[in-house]
Structure 1
Amino acid sequence: MNTKRSEEMFDKACRLIPGGVNSPVRSFGNVGRKPIFIEKGIGSHIFDVDGNEYIDYISSWGPLILGHQNPLAKKALLEAMDKGFSFGLPTPVESEVAQLMLEAYPCMESVRMVNSGTEATMSALRVARGYTGRNKIIKFEGCYHGHNDALLVKSGSGALTFGMPTSPGIPKDITKNTLVCTYNDITSVKACVEANKGEVAAIILEPIAANMGLVLADKDFLCSLRKICDEEGIVLIFDEVISGFRIGFGGASSYYGVSCDMACFGKIIGGGLPVGAYGGKKEIMDCVTPSGNVYQAGTLSGNPLAMHVGLAQLTYLKQHPEVYVELEKKIKKLAQGFDAILRKYKVDAQVVQMGSLMTIFFTNQKIRNYQDVCTCDTEAFSKVFIKMLDKGIMMSPSQFEVLFLNTCHSDEDIEKTIQAFQESIQELYA
C-alpha cells in the first residue's frame, strides 16, 4: 500500500503541530505507523490522500452513525449556511434540538448546549458542585471524560494509550478533590463515600465505558450507584458522549433503565460537527447562569450549523428506531465472525460488543474494569491493526478504543472485513 503523500504530509505537520496531530487519538505511533491523512469519506468508506480506500470503523469516533456525507445532514448544513454561519444570539433551532434531547432522556428537564464533550463534563461538574455546595467528585479508573484538569486522573482513551493516566500541568490542589474508584466495584464506591461523608458533590462515569475499550457496566452496579446518590445527596452524572443516541435513542440510561441526575453529550448531537451538551433535573440546571449563579458561557454554543445538522440526524433516529436494530444485527455478525476466527487459531483475545460498538481485547482476562484492560497485549493488537490497515480496513488505532458501525456499512463490507481478519490472524498465528 502506497502512503507516500500521507507520510510527507505528516512530516510537514510535525514541523507545525505538536506530534503532527491535533488530537493524540489520531496518532498511529502506538501501532508503529505514521497516521493516514484523509481526503474524503462517502458512506462507510474513507479515501486517503494517496488514493487508498478503506472500510471505516472509526466514523469520526462515533457521531457519523448515518455514515459519511449523509444526504439529510448535508442538506441541513447547506440550508443553514444559506442563512449564516454564526450569530452569537439565540436561534429557534437550539430549542428544537433541546426538545428532542429531553424527549429522549426523561430524567433531564433542561439542557445547555456547549462546544465539546470535554466542555460538557467540565460544566456539569461545576454545576453539581454549585448545587450541592460540596467540592469532591468520584470518577472511575479508565473512564475518560475529556481533558479538563479535575478529570484527567487515571483516565482512559488517549491517556491510557500513551501510558499517561495522569498528566503534567495539573496542580495537585485541583486533583486533590478527585476521588478514584474501581469500575463495576460498588464496594470501592461505598468505602470512598463513607470516608468522605457529606463531601462528595458528584459521581461521574461512562455507563457504557468506551474509552478503555468497550467495558460494560453491570446493571446492579448502576442501580447501586443510583441508590447511594439518593441516600447521600450526591449528583449522579452519566457521561454519554459516546453512548448517547448511539446505543439507542435514549442512550445507556434507557438501555439499563437507570436514571441519572445529569447527562453529558458530544458531537453525535451535531451530526459530527463540533458540539456538546449537558442537562439534568430542573432544580440542578436552574443553578446555571443566567437563571442561577453558576457561571458557564460559550460564544459559539448552540452554533446554528451544528444545531441544524444535529436536528436532522436526531429527528431521523427518533423516527427510525429500526436503525439501532439493524446496526446491532450487523455488528453481531462482525463480532461472531471475529470470535470464531480467534478461537480457530487459539488466539488469546476476545470480542466485546454492545449495540453498534465493539472492541477486540487481546487478553483472556474477563473484562470488567481498568485493571483487566491493562492485561491486554498491545503489541499483538498493533500487529493485527497493521495487517488490517494494509488490507483496506480502518479500525481505531488503539487497543483502548472501540469500533463504530454506521448505517452505510453493507453486508459486503462486513464480509470483506471478516475475510481480512481471517487472513490477518492466519498470517500472524498459523
Structure 2
Amino acid sequence: PGFLEGLRSLTNDHGALLIFDEVMTGFRVGPQGAQGRYGITPDLTTLGKIVAGGTPAAVYGGRRDLMSQMAPSGPIYQAGTLAGNPITVAAGLVTLRRIASDPALYDRLEASGAELETRLAAALSRHGIDGTVQRVGAMLTVFFGPTTVRSWDDAVTLDRDRFARFFNGALSRGVLLPPSPFEAMFLMDAHTDVLETAASVLESAIGDAA
C-alpha cells in the first residue's frame, strides 16, 4: 500500500483517529481534496484559505459520530472570536457553490497544471539544470536539485541560491511566486487566460537560474 493507505490501516488496527490536514490540498488537487483524489477517507479533516475563496477561514469536519460530540449537540465546547463570522461564511458559500456548479473546473485546472509542468520541465532540460517539476492537480513546485523530492532529507539538499535567482527573475518580470524553495505554486481558474504569459516568464526565469 501507499503511505496514506498505510496510515489508514494502522489507525484502523489501533483504534486511532486519522486526521487529514487539507489546508493546502483541499479543493486544489480535486473537489474532494487529497482524500478524494487518492481514495482514502479520514476520520477528521481540517481545511482553510481556499475553502472561503481566500478570505481568512478555518474549517474542520468529519464522521457524524465524532462531530456530534461538539457543542451544541455534544459536550465538547469549541468557540473562537471569529467563529461563524458572517463575511467568511458568505464567502465560503459562494466558493463552494461556484465549485459545485462547474463540473469542468478541475479538468481545466488539471490541463493548466499539466501544461505548465511540461513547459517548465522542458526549460530545466534546455538550460542543463538539475531540477524537477512536481505537481498534483493545480499545485506544482520547481525543485532545483538532482533528485525527486520525497522527504525532508531530499528537500534540504535543494539549491537555494538557484531558486533565489529563479524567484527574482520571475518577480522582475511581474510574476510573484511563493518565496520559499519548499512551497507550491497554486493555479486558479482565473489564471487560465494568462497562463501563456506566466509560462513564458517562468521559462525565462529558469534561464536566469542557469
TM-score tier by shorter-chain length is over 0.9
**Uncovered stretches (5+) of structure 1, i.e. residues with no partner:** 1-218
Q: Is 1:345 matched up with 2:137? A: no
1:421 maps to a residue whose letter is: L
Question: 2: CA distance between counterparts of 1:342 and 1:424?
Answer: 10
| Residues 1:381 and 1:232: Cα distance change in structure 2 (over 3 Å) | same
Greater per-residue helix proportion: 2
1:237-261 per-position Cα deviation (integer Å, ceiling 9, x unaligned): 0011111122111111111111100
Q: Is 1:416 matched up with 2:197? A: yes
2:31 maps to a residue whose letter is: F
Question: 2: CA distance between counterparts of 1:250 and 1:404?
Answer: 16
How many Å apart are 1:428 and its aligned residue?
Answer: 4.1
How many Å apart are 1:406 and its aligned residue?
Answer: 1.0
Question: 2: CA distance between counterparts of 1:237 and 1:406?
Answer: 26
Question: 1: CA distance between counterparts of 2:198 and 2:46?
Answer: 33
Higher relative contact order (CA 8 A, sep 6+): 1
How many Å apart are 1:343 and its aligned residue?
Answer: 0.6
**Where do 4+ consecutive residues of structure 1 move more than 4 Å?**
none
The answer as to whether partners of 2:140 and 2:185 remain within 8 angstroms in 1 is yes
Write the mapping of 1:12-411 to structure 2, written as runs, cut at 5 A.
220-411=2-193
The answer as to whether partners of 1:249 and 1:321 remain within 8 angstroms in 2 is no
The answer as to whether partners of 1:241 and 1:265 remain within 8 angstroms in 2 is yes
1:418 maps to a residue whose letter is: A
The answer as to whether partners of 1:238 and 1:260 remain within 8 angstroms in 2 is yes
Question: 2: CA distance between counterparts of 1:392 and 1:299?
Answer: 37
2:192 maps to a residue whose letter is: S
- Percentage identity across paired residues of the two chains: 36
The answer as to whether partners of 1:327 and 1:406 remain within 8 angstroms in 2 is yes
1:141-170 per-position Cα deviation (integer Å, ceiling 9, x unaligned): xxxxxxxxxxxxxxxxxxxxxxxxxxxxxx
1:424 maps to a residue whose letter is: A
The answer as to whether partners of 1:365 and 1:375 remain within 8 angstroms in 2 is no
Give the secondary-structure state (helix, strand or coil) at the position aligned to 1:358.
Answer: strand
Question: 2: CA distance between counterparts of 1:408 and 1:370?
Answer: 32
| Residues 1:418 and 1:267: Cα distance change in structure 2 (over 3 Å) | closer
The answer as to whether partners of 2:166 and 2:208 remain within 8 angstroms in 1 is no
Question: TM-score with structure 1 length normalisation?
Answer: 0.47
Question: 2: CA distance between counterparts of 1:341 and 1:269?
Answer: 33
The answer as to whether partners of 2:147 and 2:154 remain within 8 angstroms in 1 is yes
Question: 2: CA distance between counterparts of 1:422 and 1:250?
Answer: 31
**Uncovered stretches (5+) of structure 2, i.e. residues with no partner:** none
1:369-392 per-position Cα deviation (integer Å, ceiling 9, x unaligned): 111111111111011100110011
Give the secondary-structure state (helix, strand or coil) at the position aligned to 1:279.
Answer: strand
How many Å apart are 1:414 and its aligned residue?
Answer: 2.2
Partner of 1:33: none
Provide the alpha-carbon RMSD of the alignment: 1.6
The answer as to whether partners of 2:163 and 2:209 remain within 8 angstroms in 1 is no
The answer as to whether partners of 1:362 and 1:376 remain within 8 angstroms in 2 is yes
Larger radius of gyration, structure 1 or 2?
1
How many Å apart are 1:223 and its aligned residue?
Answer: 1.0
1:268 maps to a residue whose letter is: I
| Residues 1:241 and 1:422: Cα distance change in structure 2 (over 3 Å) | closer
